[in-house]
Structure 1
Amino acid sequence: MKEKLLPIWKKAQVVWKNYGYYISLVCLLSLFGLAAWLYRTGNHDADAVYATSAAQPVLAQETAAVSPAPTAEPEPSWRKPVQGELTVEYSPEELQWNETLSQWRTHGGVD
């Protein structure tokens, strides 16, 4: 049995060596074509209208009189990113000396 498999394996190696590039290319293009076809056809079930059950009537429940809650002061729409003292001012156009990097540079943040 091994004698029969050996020549088949050798033949497969020869075929792959000669045509392997083209076989791989055809497989890859087939996968791309399949992916494009699946993408274009897609799942169109979302467009279908499904029947829904009839809405059940909601019975009104009696509620106790609720006193109005005290109104809270609205929070300001902005706040400082950090609390504390500013060490370096925002300066996008003016050069400032940076001690850490030992160079002149602009500073686009607030520290």
Structure 2
Amino acid sequence: MKRPFYQRVGDFIEGKGFYIVLLLCVAAIGVSGWFLYSSFARSSEELAAGGPAKITVTPTPMATVQAAITAKPSAAPPATATPKPAATPKPSAAPAATPTPAATPAAAPTSYLWPVQGEIITDYTVDALAYDPTMADWRTHTGVDIAASAGTEVRSVASGTVSDVSSDVMMGTTVVVDHGGGITSVYANLASVPTVEVGDAVSTGDILGSVGNTAIAESALPDHLHFSLEQDGTPVNPLDYLND
């Protein structure tokens, strides 16, 4: 009985299959070798046609290289900051000073009241010496001694300001009044406690104190007021100023 075609093919392949596979492998290797050879031959031809590639290297001159190595970078100079000019302060407008009016010096009085009423027992004398019974010697006398009982009120000869109240060692309790114009009046041999203080303003005829017996330098005389006047610190004759 005749077998089908595909069975016969299968038997053939089964019987001869090893050789067929071997043949196919050899053929594949041959084809691959031919393609590889053809590709290599073609590359060789292209290389021969184009010629060998040339690489040109330009050497760097040694002087340039040495200069580049030894040259030190120059340090950049530090930037100098330019100072900004200081702003000039604008002067503030000072308030205009109000001038203080100068005090008008007080004028000297034109008339003088007697401080007490009484007899002159010792005159003013600076040009000649007078005998002093208390000190038992000859000396000048820069005022006048006006006789008055102890306790008699002593009055300011003119208006002014009390500038001193003191207890003098030789002349006893003393009051000084500044009348202006350089004129001052001095009241000595007063009772221990006067009625005014330094700084008091007095008018003509105001009571300054009372007659006492505190002047050791004139204790040999009867009760009296020792009175003197000075012009700019220099004694003057009171009788030239007191009202008649």
TM normalised by structure 2 equals: 0.17
TM normalised by structure 1 equals: 0.34
Q: Which has the larger radius of gyration?
A: 2
**More helix per residue: 1 or 2?**
1
